[in-house]
Amino acid sequence: MKKTTLILAAALLGPVVWADEEPPPPPPENQKIESQERASQERPSQRRQRQMRDFFASLSEKERKELRTLQESNPEEARKVMAQQLEKYNQKIRERENFLRTQIQIYQTSDSKEVRDKAYAEIKKMIVEDFERNMKEHRRMLDFLERERYESRRKNSSAIIQARIDELTKPPELRW
């Protein structure tokens, strides 16, 4: 009984008694650096992938087709043209981001309601445009994936049908 009481008291009072203890030491510096390096290595590739997706989404269907045609006929020239177009696109994006930051700063620091309302309207307009562009790109990607799945199923229709027939005609003792 005494042991049980002591164990319960230690369990209940333990956090209170040892609350003054120092927190556990931080992870070693080299471990922090490794995790930061890993994070920094992943981020640029993801950022680059997003930038390329956004860049191609910003092109019209005609521009995409022209780039594909040029890629097939003259890959080196296509790389140059794409690099030029990508640089123009990135410059436009940087200008847009700077403008957005400026509007946010104006909104946060201005005392005038009119100025704040105008900045808010600009911020909202830009965010709505971004959202609609992203939704349009998502729809395009979904359409592509649906077409791909449909084509895959159409090409493999005989195997799919045969697999379904085999599943239905299996003896009951062999079914799941």
**Residue 5 pLDDT:** 52
- How much is the average pLDDT of 84-107? 94
Q: Average the pLDDT over 50-67 and give the result.
A: 84
Among residues 24, 62, 51, the alpha carbon closest in space to that of 137 is found at: 51
Q: How far apart are alpha carbons 109 and 102 in whole angstroms?
A: 10
Average pLDDT over residues 61-89: 90
Q: Residues 94-98: what's their mean pLDDT?
A: 94
pLDDT band at residue 72 under the 50/70/90 scheme: very high
pTM of the model: 0.55
Q: How would you class 119 by CB atoms within 10 Å of its CB: exposed for 0-12, middle for 13-18, buried for 19 or more?
A: buried
With cut-offs at 50, 70 and 90, classify the pLDDT of residue 104: very high
- Residue 25 pLDDT exceeds 70: no
Cα 165 from Cα 5, distance rounded (Å):
68
Rounded percentage of the chain residues whose pLDDT exceeds 90:
45
- In this prediction, what percent of the chain has a pLDDT beyond 70? 76
- φ/ψ of residue 20, rounded to 5: -80, -10
**Region 112-138 average pLDDT:** 93
CA distances from 8 to 2, 4, 18, 43 (A): 10, 6, 15, 49
Residue-level pLDDT at 16: 44
